[in-house]
C-alpha cells in the first residue's frame, strides 16, 4: 500500500503539469502577433516537475523495499533466539541422559558384583564339601584358611553390593525429581520457541504481502528508471536514492561540487553521486507533504 503522503506528492506534481498544459491550450501557440501567448520554453523549464515526479516514485519504491528488507531482518534476528532455545532444550536432555546413564552403570556394576558373590558362594560350598575328605591336619588347616578367606571376600562383596544399592536408590530418586524439572523446563522452552516461530511466520507473511504491494507499485515506475534503480540498489546495499544533505551525498557523505549541488537543487535531470553512484535528490522542505527520506544513517561507508 503506497504511503498517503507520497501519493499526495505525486498528485501535486501531476496537477502542476496538467495545469500548465491547460494554460497552453487556453492561450494558444506563441507568436509575436498574438498577445498573451507563451513560448514553449516554460515547459522545458518545468521539466523539473517531471523529474521531481520520477524522483518521488523512486523514493516511494525505496520505502517499499526498505520496509520489506526491515521485515526480513526482523525475521532473521529471531533465528539465533530460536536456535539458542533449541540448544538449551537439548542441553537439558543431555544432562538428564548423563544421570540416567550413571544409574544404569551402577546397576550393571551391581549385577557384576552379584555374579561375583554367587561365584564365591559356590566356591565356599565346594571347599566345605572337600573339607571332610581331607586326611592330614596340614591340608585340613589350609582348607579352613581358604574357607575363611573366601568368606571374608564374600562379605566384602555383599557390603559393596549394599552400598551400590543405596547409591542407586538415591540417584533414582534424584533422577525422578530432575526429570520432572526438565520436563517442565522443556515445556516452557518449547512454548517460547513456538511463540518465536509464530512471530517469524507473521513477519514473513507481512513481508510477502508488502512485496506484492511493492511489485504492483513498481509497475507505475518507467522501466528504464526502475532498472537503473534496481542496479544501483543491488550494488549499494539496498540504498539507491539518497537526499543531498548540507551539499553532500546522503549515502557516502562525500561533498558535492557547488555546480553539482546547484544541479541537484534544480532537479531538471537525474544526477548521480560521483563517488558512490547513488541517485541524488533535494528533500522537500514541507515534511508533512514530502515522501519519507531513506535513513541515511544506515548507508554503507562508500
> Please, what are the domains in the chain?
41-75+220-298 (no CATH), 76-218 (1.10.287.1700)
Rounded to whole angstroms, how far apart are CA atoms 158 and 247? Answer: 93
Q: What is the pLDDT of residue 92?
A: 94
Sign of CA dihedral 144, 146, 147, 151: positive
Q: For residue 182, give the nearest of 98, 97, 92, 85 by alpha carbon.
A: 92
Contacts of 256 (CB under 8 A, 6+ apart): 244, 247, 248, 249, 264, 273, 280
Q: What is the pLDDT of residue 3?
A: 46
The size of the chain, in residues, is 302
Q: What is the pLDDT of residue 46?
A: 61
Helical (H) or strand (E) element with 246: none
Sign of CA dihedral 245, 251, 255, 260: negative
Taking the alpha carbons at both ends of the chain, their separation in whole angstroms is 31
266-295: burial string, b at 16+ Cβ within 10 Å, e else? ebbeebebeebebbbbebbeeeeebbebbe
- Series of mean pLDDT values for 10-residue runs along the chain (302 residues): 42 42 42 44 58 93 97 96 96 93 93 94 90 85 90 93 93 94 95 97 97 97 96 95 96 95 93 96 65 38 43
Please count the helices (runs of H) and the strands (runs of E) in the chain. Answer: 6, 3
Q: What is the pLDDT of residue 286?
A: 58
Amino acid at each position: 500500500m503506497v504511503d498517503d503522503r507520497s501519493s499526495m506528492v505525486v498528485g501535486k506534481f501531476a496537477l502542476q503539469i496538467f495545469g500548465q498544459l491547460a494554460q497552453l491550450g487556453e492561450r494558444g501557440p506563441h507568436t509575436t502577433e498574438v498577445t498573451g501567448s507563451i513560448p514553449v520554453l516554460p515547459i522545458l523549464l518545468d521539466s523539473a516537475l517531471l523529474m521531481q515526479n520520477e524522483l518521488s516514485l523512486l523514493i516511494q519504491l525505496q520505502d517499499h523495499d526498505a520496509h520489506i528488507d526491515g521485515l526480513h531482518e526482523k525475521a532473521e534476528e529471531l533465528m539465533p533466539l530460536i536456535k539458542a532455545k533449541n540448544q538449551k532444550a537439548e542441553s537439558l536432555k543431555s544432562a538428564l541422559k548423563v544421570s540416567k546413564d550413571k544409574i544404569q552403570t551402577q546397576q550393571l556394576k551391581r549385577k557384576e558384583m552379584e555374579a561375583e558373590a554367587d561365584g564365591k558362594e559356590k566356591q565356599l560350598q565346594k571347599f566345605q564339601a572337600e573339607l571332610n575328605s581331607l586326611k592330614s591336619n596340614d591340608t585340613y588347616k589350609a582348607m579352613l584358611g581358604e574357607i575363611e578367606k573366601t568368606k571374608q571376600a564374600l562379605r566384602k562383596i555383599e557390603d559393596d553390593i549394599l552400598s551400590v544399592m543405596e547409591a542407586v536408590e538415591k540417584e533414582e530418586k534424584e533422577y525422578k525429581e530432575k526429570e520432572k524439572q526438565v520436563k517442565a523446563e522443556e515445556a516452557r522452552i518449547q512454548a517460547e520457541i513456538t511463540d518465536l516461530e509464530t512471530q517469524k511466520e507473521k513477519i514473513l507473511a507481512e513481508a510477502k504481502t508488502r512485496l506484492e504491494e511493492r511489485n504492483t507499485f513498481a509497475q507505475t515506475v518507467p522501466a528504464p528508471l526502475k532498472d537503473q534503480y534496481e542496479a544501483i540498489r543491488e550494488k549499494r546495499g539496498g540504498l539507491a536514492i539518497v537526499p543531498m544533505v548540507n551539499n553532500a551525498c546522503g549515502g557516502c557523505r562525500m561533498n558535492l561540487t557547488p555546480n553539482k549541488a546547484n544541479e541537484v537543487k534544480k532537479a531538471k535531470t537525474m544526477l548521480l553521486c560521483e563517488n558512490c553512484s547513488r541517485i541524488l535528490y533535494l528533500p522537500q522542505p514541507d515534511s508533512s507533504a514530502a515522501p519519507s527520506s531513506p535513513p541515511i544513517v544506515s548507508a554503507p561507508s562508500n
